[in-house]
Amino acid sequence: MSERRTTLLEVRDVSKHFGGIYALNEASLVLESGEVHALIGPNGAGKTTLIHVLSGALPADAGQVIFDGNDLARRAMHERVALGLARSYQITNLFSRLKVLDNVTMAVQSRVRDWGSSFSFWKPFSLDSAIVDEAHDLLAQVSLTGLAGRRASQLSHGEQRCLEVALVLATKPKLLLLDEPMAGMGPEESVRMVELIEHLARRVTMLLVEHDMDAVFRLADRISVLVGGRVIASGEPAVIRADHEVRRAYLGDAE
Amino acid sequence: MGLYASSPRRRVAAAITLLALLALPWLMQTLDQGFYVSFASRVLIFALAATSLNLVIGFGGMISFGHAAFFGAGAYTVAILAEGGVHSAALAWPLALAVAALLALLIGAISLRTRGVYFIMITLAFAQMVFYLIVSLKSWGGDDGLLLLRRSTFGSLDLKDDTTFYFVVLATLALVLLALDRLAHSRFGRVIQSIRENETRMEALGYPVFSYKLVCFVIGGALAGLAGALLVNQSGLASPNLLHWMQSGTLMVMIVIGGVGSVFGGVVGAVLLLLCEEFFVEISPHWQIGLGLVLLAVVLWAPLGIAGLFGWGRSRE
């Protein structure tokens, strides 16, 4: 990672409304490559909506998203993944009936630039041993090695969250959108996840949506605060902690 | 119900079945039941049609209720070409396949923009449109269908001979099943099965889901067209009934009974259903009530079908 930081993602005045309710109201945000950028805000502030808009699951009503020099406006979700933008889900979203290893191999296989197209109808996948090896590697990184043969649905909640991270990592993203990776985790599982994210942060830029403030202040290089669909503050953790408006709008409520 | 995986045991069972089917004409002639050779061809053709639908529903997870359109398109293509003097199988059969593929491309490109029950209804609607179109075209026989007065010619093979025709059908089915088994284990096969399992997640992993589904839908349609081409040769008639929604329903029943998402599910279902039809109809014309009960039992207690019961289907632990 170079010392000189460049802008990886720029969100400019993005709005999204559902009927009369503005989930996002001219939200703006800049992510530099290499940083862990946490997005915090009260429930209903629009955090998950922003993730949906960034990943392409929802179209924005107004505004612009520039990722790595590309305007994302008209790009489908799968095209954004190819550009290096991958997301995890707040509610675990896996191939629950498939084996853990198959979950990861499907994710690894998706990288067209490395493996070529999946429009291959005759050659057995079992010969694609490089994909399988890489999947085992990823499982080791998220400490799920011994569970490769289980069905995803048989894993514990925390293990499923780790598998979720492995799937996103397998796409080799430049930017990882992590939507509440610690949601519903017990304290021990949370510690494990924080360590995992810390480890990953050395390699990949992250936008982290998280409610656990201890984790946020430990992991984040910078923090943005989303309230009522608008980013009201953005800066280093110490600055955010001290920010008056933020305390009033958000942190104050929690304490 | 994970990804499809063949076991050596299943391959042995397939090989034994193939040997038995190779010996069938000889056996029938020995027993002086030559009529059943043609019937056996019919069963294998329906097995092919059901297998093609199983690719779409069982592997691709697309509950298409309009598969008869492709089946019928293949049959009519061969019959219409024969009217025009084209009898060569080498020409007519691939054309039947191509016409069905093109129809599937058109119907799929529109229908696959919908999901769930809307997809079921829109495929049904398209197929019924094709049905009414054919029925209204008097030059192609309208209600009565189009007779195929002589079977296609295929090099030096004499397809008029029921036994020769049977072997051609058997070879076609065997090749398609082999190809489907390969496909199920290929990258493409894994992708479509995973789309069946979790479409949103596949999109989020960067797969252009729509393209994969469309290709799967078109392959299924094309194979149904091939089955139609064979069927019109077997029966000598391209009937509008081949295009009717009840035909789509029959194919669906076959794969549900046989095993959804299993390479051999369509074969098992077609064989069981047509054998029941052939022999129970003599006992009582209301035999289908019994069929209804069987279907109910399968759905309730053996959701992976007969193939699943014997461990020929997807693994289910």
pLDDT, tens digit (0-9, with 9 covering 90-100), for A157-203: 989 999 999 999 999 999 999 999 888 888 888 898 999 999 889 88
Highest mean pLDDT (candidates A119-133, A238-252, B172-186): B172-186
Q: Read off the pLDDT of each residue in A234-249 and give the average, rounded to a whole number.
A: 84
Residue B263: CB partners within 8 Å, gap ≥ 6? B4, B6, B51, B54, B177, B180, B181, B184
**Smallest CA–CA separation between A180 and chain B, in Å?**
17
Looking at residue B55, what is its pLDDT? 97
> Is residue B166 within 8 Å of B187, Cβ to Cβ?
no
Q: How many CB pairs under 8 A join A and B?
A: 104
Kindly list the averaged pLDDT for each block of 10 residues, start to end, along chain B of length 317.
81 90 91 88 97 97 97 97 93 97 98 95 97 93 89 88 95 96 96 96 94 98 98 95 95 94 93 88 79 84 80 54
At A255, the pLDDT band (50, 70, 90 cuts) reads very low
At how many degrees (to 10) do helices A100-109 and A157-170 cross? 20
Chain B partners of A97 at a C-beta cutoff of 8 Å?
1-2, 197
CA distance linking residue B53 with residue B267, whole number of Å:
11
**Smallest CA–CA separation between B58 and chain A, in Å?**
15
The pTM for the full model equals 0.90
Looking at residue A108, what is its pLDDT? 96
Cβ of A83 under 8 Å from any chain B Cβ?
Answer: no
Under an 8 A CB cutoff, do A106 and B190 touch? Answer: yes
Looking at residue B141, what is its pLDDT? 86
Nearest chain A residue to B219 by CA: give it: A121
Chain A partners of B317 at a C-beta cutoff of 8 Å?
151
Under an 8 A CB cutoff, do A94 and B200 touch? Answer: no
ipTM over cut 0.85:
yes
Residues 153-192 of A with CB under 8 A from B: 167, 170-171
Cβ of A222 under 8 Å from any chain B Cβ?
Answer: no
Chain A partners of B186 at a C-beta cutoff of 8 Å?
120-125
How far is CA B262 from each of CA A135, B278, B317, rounded to the nearest angstrom? 26, 25, 15
The phi-psi region of residue A71 (left if phi > 0; otherwise alpha if psi is between -120 and 50; otherwise beta) is beta
Looking at residue B312, what is its pLDDT? 62
Higher pLDDT, A4 or A101: A101
Nearest to A150 by CA among A101, A116, A202: A101
Burial class of residue B309, CB neighbours in 10 A (0-12, 13-18, 19+): middle
**Smallest CA–CA separation between A91 and chain B, in Å?**
12
Under an 8 A CB cutoff, do A96 and B197 touch? Answer: yes
Looking at residue B13, what is its pLDDT? 87
Looking at residue B317, what is its pLDDT? 38
Cβ of B133 under 8 Å from any chain A Cβ?
Answer: no
Domains and CATH numbers, chain A: 1-84+173-255 (3.40.50.300), 94-172 (no CATH)
**Smallest CA–CA separation between A251 and chain B, in Å?**
32
| Residue at token pair 């392959």 | B219
Cβ of B194 under 8 Å from any chain A Cβ?
Answer: yes
Nearest to B233 by CA among B74, B98, B34, B104: B74
Under an 8 A CB cutoff, do B194 and A78 touch? Answer: no
3-state DSSP call for residue A153? helix
Residues 143-182 of B with CB under 8 A from A: 179, 182
Chain B partners of A120 at a C-beta cutoff of 8 Å?
186-188
Find the range with the poorest average confidence among A9-18, A78-87, B118-127, B307-316: B307-316
What are the start-end ranges of the H helices in chain B? 8-30, 35-54, 68-83, 89-111, 116-136, 162-185, 187-197, 199-204, 209-235, 245-258, 265-283, 287-301, 305-309
Long-range contacts of A21-27 (CB under 8 A, 24+ apart): A22/A228, A22/A229, A23/A49, A23/A229, A24/A49, A24/A50, A24/A53, A24/A60, A24/A63, A24/A229, A24/A230, A25/A228, A25/A229, A25/A230, A26/A62, A26/A63, A26/A229, A26/A230, A27/A63, A27/A226, A27/A229, A27/A230, A27/A231
Cβ of A113 under 8 Å from any chain B Cβ?
Answer: no
Nearest chain A residue to B205 by CA: give it: A107
Cβ of B8 under 8 Å from any chain A Cβ?
Answer: no
CA distance linking residue A222 with residue B139, whole number of Å:
74
Half-sphere exposure of A210 (CA within 13 A, CB side): 25
Find the CB nearest A78 among B197, B208, B317.
B208
Tell whether the model's pLDDT for residue A28 goes beyond 90: yes
Chain A partners of B261 at a C-beta cutoff of 8 Å?
none
Under an 8 A CB cutoff, do A77 and B203 touch? Answer: yes
**Smallest CA–CA separation between A122 and chain B, in Å?**
5
